[in-house]
C-alpha cells in the first residue's frame, strides 16, 4: 500500500489574519497521524493489463477500529526523475499523455468499510480497435472522507476553525499494448558519504536510463566484493522500482548502512518482478577506488 498524499481541508468561520500560523498547526497535526495510513490495506498496489487480460480486482480491507468511507476516482499524474509524482497542471498536458482511464471502467465509486471488512473494486478494460502500441496509465485514488468529528482550533476573538485531515492513496492502473518493449542501462553511480552527529552514513546515487515503449519494474540490489576477495555480499536493496515511459532516466538513492570506504567491486543488479519476472534489466560491475567516494556537508 502506498500513501501518496496527506491532504488537509480547512473550513474557517471567518478570515483569520494569522493564517500562516494555522498552516503550521495543520502540518504539526498531520504528522501525528502518520500511522493512520495503515488502516487501509490495498491489494495489489499496481495493476497492468497485457493484451490477453480484460478484468482485474482490487481488494480493500479496513484494518482500523472505526468505520471508514473512501471515495474512488481517477488522477492523472506523471513520474518525475526522482521517482515522485506530479499531477498535470492543465488539460492540454493531460491530452498529450497516454492515459488509461478512458478505456477502463470500475465499480463501486465509493465504499464504506466497517472494522475488518473487505470489499473488492472490479476493474474492466475495453481497448479501442486502433489502439497504438505503447503503455497507457492512470492512477486510481482512494480518498478517505472527512471524519464528522472534526477537530476545532480556537482562534483569537472567540472564533473557531474546523480541521479535517484526509488521507489519499493511489495505485497505477496500466494498459500495455504490443509486445513488451523496454530496456534499461546504468548511466552513473555516485558513492556518497555524509556525517550526521559524528556518524558516517553511506549511500549510492544510481542513475538508470530507460528506453522503449513500456516501463520497467523490478528490484534494485547492490552487492560488494572486497579487493583481492572472491566473496560477494549484498549491501543495499530497494524493491518495486518503477521507471515509467515519461521518464528517460531516473536517479535513485539507495542506503548502504553496513558499507565503509574501501576499494573493491560494486555490483548493480536491477531485475524485473511480477509481469517483468525473468527479465534482468541491469547486471553490471564497477571497480571502486577510495577516491570515488564523495562527501556531503555535515548536518
According to the model, what pLDDT value does residue 295 have? 86
According to the model, what pLDDT value does residue 73 have? 97
Please state, in angstroms and as integers, the Cα–Cα distance from residue 1 to each residue in 64, 65, 172, 250, following that order. Answer: 15, 18, 11, 22
Equal fold, 3-177 vs 183-295: no
According to the model, what pLDDT value does residue 56 have? 97
According to the model, what pLDDT value does residue 29 have? 43
According to the model, what pLDDT value does residue 148 have? 57
Q: May I ask the CATH architecture of the domain 3-177?
A: Sandwich (2.60)
According to the model, what pLDDT value does residue 20 have? 46
Q: Strands 3-12, 85-87: parallel, antiparallel or unpaired by DSSP?
A: unpaired
According to the model, what pLDDT value does residue 22 have? 45
Residues 6 or more apart in contact with residue 206 via CB below 8 angstroms: 186, 188, 189, 220, 222, 251, 252, 253, 254, 268
Please state the domain extents for the chain.
Answer: 3-177, 183-295
CA 38 to chain centre: 16
Smallest CA-to-CA distance from 45 within 273, 282, 279, 281 is with 273
According to the model, what pLDDT value does residue 92 have? 64
Q: Which fold has domain 183-295?
A: Coagulation Factor XIII; Chain A, domain 1 (2.70.50)
In tens, the pLDDT along 86-118 reads 998 776 677 889 999 999 999 999 999 999 999
Cis peptide bond N-terminal to 147, omega within 30? no
| pTM, two decimal places | 0.81
In tens, the pLDDT along 114-171 reads 999 999 999 999 999 999 999 999 999 999 988 655 455 555 555 555 555 568 899 9
According to the model, what pLDDT value does residue 14 have? 40
Q: Which residue ranges in the chain fall short of pLDDT 70?
A: 1-38, 91-92, 147-166, 297-299
Length of the chain: 299
According to the model, what pLDDT value does residue 160 have? 58
Amino acid at each position: 500500500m502506498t500513501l501518496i498524499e496527506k491532504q488537509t481541508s480547512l473550513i474557517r468561520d471567518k478570515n483569520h489574519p494569522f493564517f500562516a500560523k494555522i498552516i503550521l498547526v495543520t502540518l504539526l497535526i498531520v504528522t501525528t497521524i502518520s500511522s493512520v495510513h495503515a488502516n487501509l490495506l490495498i491489494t495489489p498496489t499496481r495493476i497492468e493489463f497485457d493484451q490477453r487480460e480484460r478484468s482485474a480486482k482490487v481488494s480493500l480491507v479496513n484494518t482500523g477500529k472505526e468505520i471508514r468511507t473512501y471515495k474512488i476516482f481517477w488522477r492523472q499524474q506523471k513520474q518525475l526523475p526522482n521517482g515522485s509524482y506530479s499531477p498535470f497542471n492543465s488539460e492540454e498536458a493531460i491530452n498529450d499523455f497516454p492515459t488509461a482511464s478512458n478505456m477502463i471502467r470500475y465499480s463501486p465509486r465509493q465504499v464504506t468499510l466497517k472494522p475488518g471488512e473487505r470489499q473488492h473494486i472490479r476493474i474492466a478494460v475495453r481497448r479501442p480497435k486502433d489502439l497504438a502500441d505503447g503503455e497507457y496509465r492512470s492512477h486510481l485514488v482512494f480518498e478517505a472522507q472527512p471524519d464528522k468529528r472534526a477537530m476545532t482550533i480556537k482562534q483569537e476573538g472567540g472564533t473557531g476553525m474546523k480541521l479535517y485531515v484526509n488521507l489519499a492513496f493511489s495505485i497505477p492502473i496500466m494498459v500495455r499494448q504490443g509486445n513488451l518493449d523496454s530496456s534499461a542501462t546504468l548511466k552513473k553511480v555516485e558513492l556518497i558519504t555524509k556525517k550526521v552527529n559524528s556518524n558516517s552514513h553511506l549511500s549510492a546515487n544510481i542513475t538508470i536510463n530507460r528506453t522503449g515503449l513500456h516501463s520497467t519494474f523490478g528490484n534494485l540490489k547492490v552487492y560488494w566484493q572486497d579487493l583481492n576477495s572472491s566473496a560477494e555480499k549484498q549491501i543495499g536493496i530497494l524493491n518495486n522500482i518503477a521507471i515509467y515511459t515519461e521518464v528517460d532516466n531516473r536517479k535513485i538513492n539507495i542506503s548502504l548502512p553496513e558499507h565503509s570506504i574501501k576499494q573493491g567491486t560494486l555490483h548493480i543488479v536491477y531485475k524485473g518482478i511480477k509481469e517483468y519476472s525473468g527479465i534482468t534489466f541491469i547486471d553490471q560491475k564497477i571497480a571502486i577506488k577510495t577516491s570515488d567516494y564523495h562527501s556531503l556537508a555535515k548536518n
